[in-house]
Every structure is written in structure tokens, then in C-alpha cells.
Amino acid sequence: MADQTQALRREPLANAHGGSGGVRLTPAKPASRISLRARADAVGALSSALGLDLPIRPSASAISNGRMALWLGPDEWLVIDENGADLMAAAASAGAMHSATDVSHRNTAIIVSGPGAATAINSGCPQDLSLKACPVGKCSRTIFGKAEIVLLRMSEDTFRVECWRSFSPFVFGLLAEGAEDAAQ
């Protein structure tokens, strides 16, 4: 009888390491994610089904118990659950009209932390990341080098950088270069 082979899932940044004296780069834990589109009248039902208030304000985010909802556009959110919950089923249970797409394996994330984190991200992203312009909890879809990212400020010196998995070596590499520069 032929041996059964089993495919092992390998994280896009499984063995990536980088950073410098002032910046730490850590591939984020695997998470489930959905890209959620809904009109304003469905936001209430979806919020209670997902267990957190979908932010209405531009660039706002909501975080509770390892689950985050990031405002991307007036009718678009990126919902991330770090505990691997079935977000598609949760959204479907809302009973309100919406469009949800499972993008868990499309995206991966890098946690950038340390006193030089903003400087490292600014190496490829022209946004103003001072605390005044970018307070804790602000998120935005933006450009990092040549790749599109979703940036979330988790604390004063910690950012979550979500990018597509095929771009992740590029994003991680450019962040590592930026981290070297930030340390100087």
C-alpha cells in the first residue's frame, strides 16, 4: 500500500527573523480574517453577531478578546480573530445583508515594536505616525514600499502590519532594512 503523504501548512514568515537594537520584528500568530462589506443598516446586527462594535468613524478600530475590527472604508472592514474563531459563521448568523470573504490565508501580519517602530515603518510608508496624527487604535490601509498594507497602531510603540502573504518577504525585508536605519 502506498504511503499516505500529508501536506503540512507552512506559515509564510515561519522562520523570518529581523530587527535591530530599537525595533523588534515578529511574525504574528496565525489568525482567521474576513473582509466584510455591509451597508449602514446592517452594522448593528453584524456588530452583535461578531461580539464587537464595528467602527463607523474613519480609521477607527475596535479590539476585544483577541478579535479586532478595522475600518478600511465607509462600508468595508477587516475583521481579525487571533483565536482562530470561525468568523464566516459568526457573520452569517447576523441575519443581515452583508458580504464576507474569508481572507485568513491571503493575509499575514508582522508585529513591529520598540522605540524605533514608527521610524522603521516610515522607511516605506509616508504617513505621519506621530502620536498626535496617529493615536493608539488608529488603522489605515496604505502603501508600504510597493505593497499595500493595513497598518494598526496597537500601542505607543507597537504596530501591526497586515500584508498579503505573497508580499510578506518583501514587506519583512523592507521593515528589516528600516529597523537597521532606525537604530542608527
Partner 1 sequence: MLLIHCPYCGEDRSELEFRGAGDAHIARPTNMADISDAEFEAFFFLRQNPKGIIYERWRHIHGCGRFFNAVRDTVSDRFIKTYKAGEPKPDINAAPATDAKVETYEALEGDAR
Q: Which positions touch partner 1 (CB under 8 A)?
A: 58-59, 72-74, 76, 126-127, 140-143, 148
Write down the least CB distance from residue 126 to partner 1, Å. Answer: 4
Write down the least CB distance from residue 95 to partner 1, Å. Answer: 26
CA 11, 159, 118, 166 torsion: positive or negative?
positive
Write down the least CB distance from residue 3 to partner 1, Å. Answer: 47
Instruction: Return the number of the residue (56 or 92) whose C-beta is nearest partner 1.
Output: 56
Instruction: Return the number of the residue (170 or 183) whose C-beta is nearest partner 1.
Output: 170
CA distance 44 to 96: 9
Write down the least CB distance from residue 93 to partner 1, Å. Answer: 27
CA distance 41 to 59: 20
Instruction: Return the number of the residue (20 or 168) whose C-beta is nearest partner 1.
Output: 168
Instruction: Return the number of the residue (6 or 73) whose C-beta is nearest partner 1.
Output: 73
Instruction: Return the number of the residue (76 or 177) whose C-beta is nearest partner 1.
Output: 76
| Among candidate residues 49, 46, 48, 104, the one with its CA nearest the CA of residue 75 | 46
Write down the least CB distance from residue 134 to partner 1, Å. Answer: 10
